[in-house]
Structure 1
Amino acid sequence: MATTIATARTLSVPGATLHYQVEGSGPVLLLSQSGEGDADRTVDLVPHLADAFTVVTYDRRGLSRSTLEDPARPVTMAEHADDVARLLAEVADGPALMAGFSMGGAIGLQVVARHPGVLGTLIAHEPVTPNLLPEADRARHRAELAAIQEAYASGGLSGAFPAIARHLGIDPAHDDTEDGLTPQPMTPRRQANFGFFIGTEFTAVTTDRLDPAEPVRAAALAGTRIIAATGRTTRPTVHTYGCALALADLLGTEPVVFPGGHNGNTAFPRATAQALKVTLAA
């Protein structure tokens, strides 16, 4: 494992200021986080990648240190994609690599569609992209997200967490992890991130109308490789698992299987780093 020091930087973009961190050397690899995760979410993963890549992590607009000019204004998936394109223009000299997990995977698909050629390879791990699913499953996926929003509105995080766990097939009491992980306590900042994710970004996901075939078409024209990925232990009934399968079907490929479940990148960082290296080198 490389011993490197992360460099923290900021970037002004329309409507926000982004916080991002750069560590390591080699081809640029952007990690786009799941859920409420900010640039620190993959603190255990990045050191195992920094020997092979220039690893970029960031706080999505509205999370942690990436502040909004107008916090009351809705955030869209298109804005998230534009942020990634501007961020990569700052740190990469050409097409970059991107591994997006859940929300990050959905953003990655938007980047491919809206900014052809910015990415050379996108790994989309169980992207939260209801439009990939057949109509009935799509409606159920959106309904689940709306139910979590209702649970949060009525009962706060304590009311929302059980619904989130069911939605993602997570069992915190029994799911395995690697040893020696950095604690991720429920700090006030993380609580605020959860609130923004549930209250604002769920709506960005459920109201987005991206044609799921569009990133596939754009990737073919730009020479971008899209790789659909699933978690080894994710339950097949989880909607984001179905999204990954549907994406693989659109691509005419089989999904790559990564360690752990939906949040395997944080539960199994060492194994995930190895899987990323193998997949990106294939």
Structure 2
Amino acid sequence: MTTTAATIRTLSVPGATLHFQVEGIGPVLLLSQSGEGDADRTVDLVPYLADTFTVVTYDRRGLSRSTLDDSARSVTMADHADDVARLLAEVTDGPALMAGFSMGAAIGLQTVARHPGRLSTLIAHEPVMPNLLPEADRAEHAAELTAIQDAYAAGGLTAAFPAIARHLGIDPARDEAEEGLTPQPMTPRRQANFGFFIGTEFTAVTTDGLDPAEPVRAAARAGTRIIPATGRTTRPVVHTYRCALELAARLGAEPVDFPGGHNGNTAFPRATAQVLKAVLGCSGGDLLQPSPR
């Protein structure tokens, strides 16, 4: 495990200033977080990757330290994808690796479509992307997200959390995790992140018009490898799990099995790092990318 200190940087982009962190040596690997997660969400995962990769983590615009120029302006999935492209251009001259989880996976697919060749490999773990599903399931997925927004508007996080747990198939009473994890308390900043995620980013997801075939076509043209991934304990009825299966079907591939459920990357960081290294190391070219700046 590598314990070097991360370099903290900022990047001005249209409409926002991004906070990001860089740690490690080797090819660039961007971790794009799930939910309300910011750059610190994977504090337990990064040290197990930094001996092999230059790991980049960041706060999505509107979360934590990535401030918006105009808080009243809506944020779109295209905004997030453009941020990823600009962020990667800041740290490396060549195509990069990306592991996206849930919201981060959807952003990764959008990045592949909007910025062909920016990524050499994308691991898309249970993307929150209704457009991947057949029409009836797509409407059901979007309706669940809207129901969570309604619950939050009516009763705040106290009302929203049970709805989120149901949506992701999480049973808090049966949650398992590796030992020695860094506590993630519900601080005021994290509460604000949840509010932004539910109130603004859910809308970005449900109104996104990306054709799900476009990332697949763009990846084929650019030579980008998209690897769909699922949580080992995620229930198959969960919409994000089914999104991963639909993505796998479009690619003609089998999804990679990751430890834990939808949030396995934070609950099982050591085991997740092992899988990431194995998957990203199985193609020699991926580990011979240009060095970071």
**2:91 equivalent to 1:73:** no
CA distance in 1, matches of 2:146, 2:271: 33
Corresponding residue for residue 210 of structure 1: 210
Cα RMSD of the aligned pairs, angstroms, is: 0.4
Corresponding residue for residue 154 of structure 2: 154
Corresponding residue for residue 189 of structure 2: 189
Corresponding residue for residue 141 of structure 1: 141
Counterparts in 2 of 1:205-244, with a 5 A limit?
205-244=205-244
Paired AA for residue 167 in structure 1: H
Identity across the alignment (%) = 85
Segments of structure 1 that go 5 or more residues without pairing to the other structure are none
3-state SS, counterpart of residue 56 of structure 1: strand
Corresponding residue for residue 36 of structure 1: 36
**2:281 equivalent to 1:281:** yes
- Structure 1 position 92, deviation (Å): 1.2
CA distance in 2, matches of 1:172, 1:43: 21
Corresponding residue for residue 2 of structure 1: 2
Hey, which bits of structure 1, 4+ residues long, moved more than 3 A?
Answer: none
Aligned residues: 282
- Structure 1 position 3, deviation (Å): 2.1
Residue by residue over 1:69-95, the C-alpha shift from the partner in whole angstroms, topping out at 9 and shown as x without a partner, is 011110000000000000000001200
Paired AA for residue 65 in structure 1: R
Corresponding residue for residue 97 of structure 1: 97
CA distance in 1, matches of 2:23, 2:45: 12
Corresponding residue for residue 289 of structure 2: none
CA distance in 2, matches of 1:151, 1:224: 39
Paired AA for residue 107 in structure 1: I
**2:246 equivalent to 1:246:** yes
Paired AA for residue 249 in structure 1: A
3-state SS, counterpart of residue 173 of structure 1: helix
Residue by residue over 1:162-200, the C-alpha shift from the partner in whole angstroms, topping out at 9 and shown as x without a partner, is 000000011122111000000000000000000000000
TM-score of the superposition, structure 1-length normalised? 1.00
Corresponding residue for residue 291 of structure 2: none
CA distance in 2, matches of 1:156, 1:61: 22
Corresponding residue for residue 130 of structure 1: 130
Paired AA for residue 17 in structure 2: T
CA distance in 1, matches of 2:19, 2:156: 27
CA distance in 2, matches of 1:3, 1:206: 39
Segments of structure 2 that go 5 or more residues without pairing to the other structure are 283-293
Residue by residue over 1:197-216, the C-alpha shift from the partner in whole angstroms, topping out at 9 and shown as x without a partner, is 00000000000010000000
Corresponding residue for residue 115 of structure 2: 115
TM-score of the superposition, structure 2-length normalised? 0.96
Paired AA for residue 121 in structure 1: T
CA distance in 2, matches of 1:148, 1:248: 27
Paired AA for residue 145 in structure 2: L
CA distance in 2, matches of 1:171, 1:155: 21
Residue by residue over 1:149-169, the C-alpha shift from the partner in whole angstroms, topping out at 9 and shown as x without a partner, is 000000000000000000001
3-state SS, counterpart of residue 160 of structure 1: helix
3-state SS, counterpart of residue 137 of structure 1: helix
- Structure 1 position 136, deviation (Å): 0.4
Corresponding residue for residue 27 of structure 1: 27
Corresponding residue for residue 106 of structure 1: 106
